[in-house]
Amino acid sequence: MHKISEPTLILNETICKDNIWKMVSRVSQWNGDFRPHFKTHQSAVVGEWFRSVGVERITVSSFAMANYFAANGWKDITVALTSTVLNADVINELSSKINLNIIVEDEESIKLLEKQLSYPVGLFIKVDGGYHRTGVDADDLPRIKKLKEPLKESKNLIFMGFLIHAGNTYYARSQEQLEEIVKPQLEKVLALKTFLKDDFPLLQISWGDTPSCSMYSGFYGIDEFRPGNFVYYDYTQVQIGSCELKDIAVCMAVPVLALHPERNEIVVHGGAVHLSKDRVELSDGSISFGKAVVMNGLTWDVNCEIGEVKSLSQEHGIIKADETVIRELKPGDVIGIIPVHSCLTANLMKELLCTDGNFIDMIK
Amino acid sequence: MHKISEPTLILNETICKDNIWKMVSRVSQWNGDFRPHFKTHQSAVVGEWFRSVGVERITVSSFAMANYFAANGWKDITVALTSTVLNADVINELSSKINLNIIVEDEESIKLLEKQLSYPVGLFIKVDGGYHRTGVDADDLPRIKKLKEPLKESKNLIFMGFLIHAGNTYYARSQEQLEEIVKPQLEKVLALKTFLKDDFPLLQISWGDTPSCSMYSGFYGIDEFRPGNFVYYDYTQVQIGSCELKDIAVCMAVPVLALHPERNEIVVHGGAVHLSKDRVELSDGSISFGKAVVMNGLTWDVNCEIGEVKSLSQEHGIIKADETVIRELKPGDVIGIIPVHSCLTANLMKELLCTDGNFIDMIK
């Protein structure tokens, strides 16, 4: 069995495969395609677990990831990050080999890309249903009409439809709040579909985010779903209500460096370069950088909580815990931290250790 | 010239070498050795720039970094992260080849390591002067006496002295505040030296953090200095007063993806996986994830400010800017972001592009 001596991201394959299977089942109820986002795991091995349950189309958030997964046999990839003319070369390289979809949100980029592209590429217009990170307002019909106009004549930009990321579902803290966030955005994109169905009868709506795909049940008229985080879930998703602690497939094993029972603190080797500096607000208003739990070998026990990570520096984490819990630990013990944001944590670690002792590679 | 099409961390070699030279000069005034912390750059190439000005001893914050720099010819390395018995194997491997110093802060780890170590290793006791992250309280003399007791008889643990990281200097926002934080800690560690000078006449005090080494002038009696961040500096250091914007040696070149002048926002490809989610509070109380500035080719101009990064998701950054500034930009332009925390940013990027167009490798 692998001996932990430094921060190591542990993956429970059973939980992960269960998460994948549950989401496959959910999406199939809504008559939409499943195009999972691979930005969370960024791993060819985990990708194969999706393939084994029938997934053939995927989403990524950068061209670097698109290259990686294309090299690992994926033939149908949507890069769900706005493209500009800067990406023309990599789009040409990828679209010579695979079915590639890109997203755009401005006329100028459409015109410039059209001039430089050598192969057909699927194009989604990024729409904003209310999250207001980016995208064209989903109810700004004049702007949308103007955007799709040059696409009618386009040779290599094949208009596919609209892509939305309702990222404000991350603000929800109950089923009711989630539904209030999802419903108006769903209505907006469905109205868009109705509005353009005469010009583009095959127009698709692509929808994606883990909270809505985990919690909302009333989807209809959506053509594909792109959740990603659900593959591992994390402590933030627990706060939202997308999952329970037991559904989280990853945990950072960290060595205990020092104990300070007089101020209720445990110091671990496990910092911002391992977990990321992402934080979550708990229901009592306090901030956490992760939940510390007991580990036994390479498995962790969410029912044996140690405390909350209250701060992180580059290599150190500070956990607040009861003195009685601290008195049971000693420097050199290994405990677990459930990450706040598994996407950023996995991205930092670049490899996972499975509970069976095998390492899993990720994109480098 | 390299064409930027994705987030790229640019290094201005001239500024960086100037920062190194200035710190060499400062430390030499205080009659202490310079053992710079290499956790910020994590690069053998940048390490050579230190070597060229006479640096032979270095500090790192993990055994992975110690291995990397040992493989790159560094023969005297302090691992400034608390060691426990879990690290015995890597300590033995490294100490068979180089002069290695470790830090400890509990009796049990000293006893267990003493049993397992095969070669002499320098040992510093980590003391806490008031930062309260970790370490033994610098004025807890009974505990310190107890800790150093087994070291008198030790074969392979060579007691070197005390190591302090006055990390609360990062809370300072003026010269006066910095001095208030530094002075009592300096007094505590110097008292410790006096207290133990009969038993350990060669005892050293090792001191390190960029704010104090950049701003404090009254150091005396300290044997070595371990600042690290100064090699690049960053936006946080500007807030503290350790440097000015023009002294920051790194800047993230990011493509503009979309413009939303109606809400004063610029969307860039440059997110938490590039910059890290670290944040800094500005003097007006607002939070920033970086300062956006104009770029010309591979150089940036800190006098041409665009705005503040107000939020980051995995791949996206949102910059707040005046409408007039936004109207001058278009998707596909490249702008710069001065990172909030250059250590975490460099750690994420794993390579740097110099302003002369050459890439510089880092630890992988």
CA atoms within 13 A on the CB side of A77: 27
Q: Which residue of A has its CA nearest to B273?
A: A344
A203 and A348 in a common domain: no
Say which of B167, B269, B272 has its CB closest to residue A276: B272
CA nearest A256 in B: which residue? B84
Q: What is the largest CA-CA distance in chain B?
A: 72
- H-only helix segments in chain A: 13-29, 44-51, 63-71, 88-95, 107-116, 141-152, 175-196, 210-215, 235-240, 272-275, 323-326, 342-349
Q: Is residue B60 part of a domain?
A: no
Distance of CA A264 to the CA centre of its chain: 34
Out of A231, A257, A284, a domain closes at A231
Give yes or no: residues B182 and B295 share one domain.
no
Cβ distance of A133 and B364 shorter than 8 Å: no
A161 in a structural domain: yes
Residues B270 and B222 in one domain: no
How high is the pLDDT of residue B271? 98
As given in the structure block, the two tokens for residue A304 are 């044996």
Residue in B closest to A349 by C-alpha: B348
Summarize the confidence of residues A41-52 as an average pLDDT.
98
Q: Is residue B322 part of a domain?
A: yes
The SS3 of residue B41 is coil
pLDDT of residue A148: 87
Chain B partners of A344 at a C-beta cutoff of 8 Å?
A: 272-273, 277, 314
Q: For residue B129, is pLDDT > 80?
A: yes
Whether B269 and A81 lie within 8 Å, measured CB to CB? yes
Q: Could you please report the per-residue DSSP string of B163-223?
A: EE--GGGGG--SHHHHHHHHHHHHHHHHHHHHHHTTT-TT-EEEE--HHHHHH-----S--
Residues B219, B272, single domain; the answer is: no
Assign residue B306 a region (left: φ > 0; alpha: ψ between -120 and 50; beta: otherwise): alpha
Number of domains present in the structure of chain B: 2
B155 and B261 together in one domain: no
- Same domain, yes or no, for A185 and A162? yes
A1 has a pLDDT exceeding 80: no
Does residue B283 sit within a domain? yes
Nearest CA-CA distance, residue A93 and chain B, Å: 14
Q: B121's torsion region: left (phi>0), alpha (psi -120 to 50) or beta?
A: beta
In chain B, residues with a C-beta closer than 8 Å to the C-beta of A5 are: 86-87, 89-90
The mean of the pLDDT values for chain A is 96
| E strand intervals along B6-156 | 8-11, 33-34, 58-60, 76-82, 99-104, 121-128, 136-137
Domain that holds residue A105: 13-231
Question: Which residue of chain B is at minimal alpha-carbon distance from A40?
Answer: B314
Query: What pLDDT band is residue B346 in, cutting at 50, 70 and 90?
Result: very high
Of residues A82, A267, A276, nearest to B277 (C-beta): A276
Across residues B151-170, what is the average pLDDT?
94
DSSP state of A155: S
What pLDDT is recorded for position A199?
84
Domain shared by A111 and A141, yes or no? yes
Instruction: Indicate whether B212 belongs to any domain.
Output: yes
Q: What is the pLDDT of residues B229-240, one digit of tens each?
A: 999 999 999 999
Q: How far is CA B231 from CA B13, B207, B362, in A?
A: 10, 17, 14
pLDDT value at A193 more than 80: yes
Distances (CA, A) of B85 to A296, B106, B116: 18, 11, 8
pLDDT value at B67 more than 90:
yes
Residues B250, B340: one domain? yes
Amino acid at A118: S
Is A297 found in the same domain as A221? no
Residues of B in Cβ contact (< 8 Å) with A272 = 276, 278, 344
Note the pLDDT of residue B163: 98
Residue B242, pLDDT score: 98
Examine the fold and report which residue of B227, B257, B277 is the final residue of a domain before the chain moves on.
Answer: B227
The reply to whether B106 and B206 lie within a common domain is yes
pLDDT of residue B152: 86
Say if A330 falls within a structural domain: yes
Q: Decide which of B179, B195, B227 is a domain's last residue.
A: B227
| Domain assignment of residue A296, yes or no | yes
CB A134 within 8 A of CB A140: no
B1 pLDDT higher than 80: no
For residue range B293-308, list pLDDT tens digits in order.
Answer: 999 999 999 999 999 9
Coil, strand or helix at A176 = helix
- Residue B10 lies inside a defined structural domain of this protein: no
Q: Residue A269 is encoded by which pair of tokens?
A: 């080797």
- The CATH number that applies at residue A322 is 2.40.37.20
Facing residues of A231 across strands?
none
Inspect the interface and report whether the beta carbons of B6 and A63 lie closer than 8 Å.
yes
- Residue in A39, A259, A314 closest to B39 by CB: A314
Alpha carbon of B66: minimum distance to chain A alpha carbons (Å): 13
Share of chain B above pLDDT 90, in %: 95
- pLDDT (tens digit per residue) in B6-60: 999 999 999 999 999 999 999 999 999 999 999 999 999 999 999 999 999 999 9
With a pLDDT cut of 70, the percent of chain B lying above it is 100
A165 CA to centre of own chain: 11
Q: Residue A152 burial by CB count (10 A; 0-12/13-18/19+): exposed, middle or buried? A: exposed
Residue A272: closest CA among chain B residues belongs to which residue? B344
Amino acid (1-letter code) at residue B105: E
Which band of pLDDT confidence, cut at 50, 70 and 90, is reported for residue B91?
very high
Q: Would the CA dihedral through A61, A65, A70, A72 be positive or negative?
A: negative
CB-CB contact of A319 with A215 (8 Å): no
Subunit contact B344:A277, Cβ cutoff 8 A = yes
- Cα distances from A19 to residues A46, A227, A234, B181, B188, in angstroms, run 12, 11, 12, 49, 54
Nearest Cα of chain A lies from the Cα of B345 at a distance, in angstroms, of 10
Is the pLDDT assigned to residue A36 strictly greater than 80? yes
Average pLDDT of the segment spanning A50-79: 98
Cα B245 from Cα A23, distance rounded (Å): 48
The burial of A354, by beta-carbon neighbours within 10 Å (0-12 exposed, 13-18 middle, 19 or more buried), is given as middle
Domain CATH number, residue B79: 3.20.20.10
> In the block, which residue shows the tokens 């371990």?
B226
Q: How confident is the model at residue B108 (pLDDT cuts 50, 70, 90)?
A: very high
Instruction: State pTM to two decimals.
Output: 0.97
Residue count (chain A): 364
**Domain check: are A17 and A162 in the same one?**
yes
pLDDT at B148: 87
Whether residues A249 and A227 fall in one domain: no
